[in-house]
């Protein structure tokens, strides 16, 4: 996404445009906002300041490049460059503020959601190897040997598009879409809805409704074969509907399709063991996979606590969760009742501290 917007790789903090601050308790309990519950307002102010500095830096960088290099216009333009050209034509409208507002949407709405969709799609295909094999054969038969899948090739692989559409049906990354407000007083099914009422659409339930979907909970990409871009009326709405639908839907589909297609084309994929990949959903405004439960199963902490070396797991969790070591070690939750503390002393914590002896065995003391 950074290449699309600015023509370079991302080098900032992952928390700068993360989903962790989309919604909070202060929005539903106003009194908490008066006392700045958990310092949320201060965190938002700091986050906005850092975002503004980052985005303004991108704009100034591209403005300086275009000013100092006239041949830049012949190269492929990034989104920031295109917006700066519009600013030159209509400076009273395309101010830096407007440009930053457009670019920030790419990072906040177009990164985390696309990554989650790819993750769900790969998990589903690994649990259904016949689907993965069918997608691989389609790519191999339509893409010239020795050439990587490109954006222009996506129209040749319609089954890949069906896989993405079915993934979005089963696991929409925004299960309640975005909050909407009623613009005027109205009556729906006998209920009085006053103006300004927040509306949340349960897209997850609609797309799994057995009354409108055959085998609603089953992963069947074939159900979308022959349909136009997965258009299924109001029963398929992962991007919303109407004038308030996601403006980046087409970009997201192409981005996810290109990445998934490249993964399938370039690598051989299979599960590590006979067990199916856990499709347990996590909590939040978006629907991630429950990584913490998956890590607990992979490491099998409760059975093999004495054989786990803290240094190895520490490196693993640091890479996966982007954690940084604290003075007291690594901390991450595995389940409500299980927490692992990884330190050089190799200790296991589960309600009470359990210490390993010098041989790596559980010390009964």
| Binding site listing for heme | 246
Contact predicate 139/133, CB 8 Å: no
Torsion of Cα atoms, 72 then 75 then 77 then 83, to 10°:
30
Instruction: Give CA–CA dist 181/199, Å, rounded.
Output: 6
Which DSSP helix (H) or strand (E) runs through 243?
none
Rg of the chain on CA atoms, in Å: 24
CA angle 88, 60, 110 (to 5 degrees): 90
Which DSSP helix (H) or strand (E) runs through 281?
none
For 339, residues 6+ apart whose C-beta sits below 8 A from its C-beta are 331, 332, 333, 349, 350
Contact predicate 8/78, CB 8 Å: no
Contact predicate 341/349, CB 8 Å: yes
| C-beta neighbour count of 329 within 10 angstroms | 15
Q: Taking each helix axis from N to C terminus, what angle separates 291-299 and 310-321, rounded to the nearest 10 degrees?
A: 160
Instruction: Give CA–CA dist 302/350, Å, rounded.
Output: 9
For 353, residues 6+ apart whose C-beta sits below 8 A from its C-beta are 347
Instruction: Give CA–CA dist 96/200, Å, rounded.
Output: 32
Instruction: Give CA–CA dist 253/258, Å, rounded.
Output: 9
Q: How far apart are the first and last CA of the chain?
A: 53
- Structure-token pair, residue 35: 């006392």
Instruction: Give CA–CA dist 66/71, Å, rounded.
Output: 8
Instruction: Give CA–CA dist 362/355, Å, rounded.
Output: 6
- Structure-token pair, residue 294: 């998956």
């Amino acid at each position: 996404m950074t290449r699309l917007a600015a023509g370079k790789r991302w080098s900032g903090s992952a928390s700068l445009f993360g989903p962790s601050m989309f919604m909070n308790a202060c929005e539903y309990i106003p009194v908490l906002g008066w006392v700045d519950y958990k310092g949320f307002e201060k965190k938002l102010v700091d986050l906005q300041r850092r975002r503004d500095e980052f985005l303004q830096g991108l704009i100034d960088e591209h403005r300086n490049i275009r000013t100092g290099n006239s041949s830049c216009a012949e190269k492929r333009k990034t989104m920031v460059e295109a917006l700066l050209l519009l600013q030159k034509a209509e400076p009273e409208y395309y101010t830096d503020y407007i440009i930053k507002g457009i670019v920030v949407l790419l990072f906040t709405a177009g990164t985390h959601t696309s990554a989650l969709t790819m993750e769900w799609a790969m998990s589903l295909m690994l649990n259904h190897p016949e689907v993965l094999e069918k997608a691989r054969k389609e790519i191999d038969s339509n893409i010239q040997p020795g050439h990587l899948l490109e954006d222009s090739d996506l129209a040749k692989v319609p089954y890949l598009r069906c896989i993405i559409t079915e993934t979005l049906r089963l696991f929409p990354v925004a299960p309640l879409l975005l909050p909407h407000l009623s613009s005027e007083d109205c009556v729906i099914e006998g209920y009085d809805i006053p103006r300004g009422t927040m509306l949340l659409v349960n897209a997850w339930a609609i797309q799994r409704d057995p009354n409108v979907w055959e085998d609603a909970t089953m992963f069947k990409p074939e159900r979308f074969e022959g349909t136009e871009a997965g258009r299924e009326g109001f029963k398929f709405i992962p991007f919303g509907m109407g004038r308030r639908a996601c403006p980046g839907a087409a970009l997201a589909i192409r981005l996810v399709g290109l990445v998934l297609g490249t993964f399938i084309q370039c690598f051989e994929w299979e599960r590590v063991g006979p067990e199916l990949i856990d499709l347990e959903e996590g909590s939040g405004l978006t629907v991630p996979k429950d990584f913490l439960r998956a890590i607990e199963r992979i490491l099998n902490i409760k059975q093999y606590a004495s054989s786990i070396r803290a240094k190895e797991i520490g490196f693993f969790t640091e890479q996966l969760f982007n954690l940084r070591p604290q003075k007291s070690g690594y901390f991450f939750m595995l389940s409500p009742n299980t927490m692992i503390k990884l330190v050089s002393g190799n200790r296991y914590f589960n309600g009470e501290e359990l210490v390993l002896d010098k041989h790596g065995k559980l010390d009964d003391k």
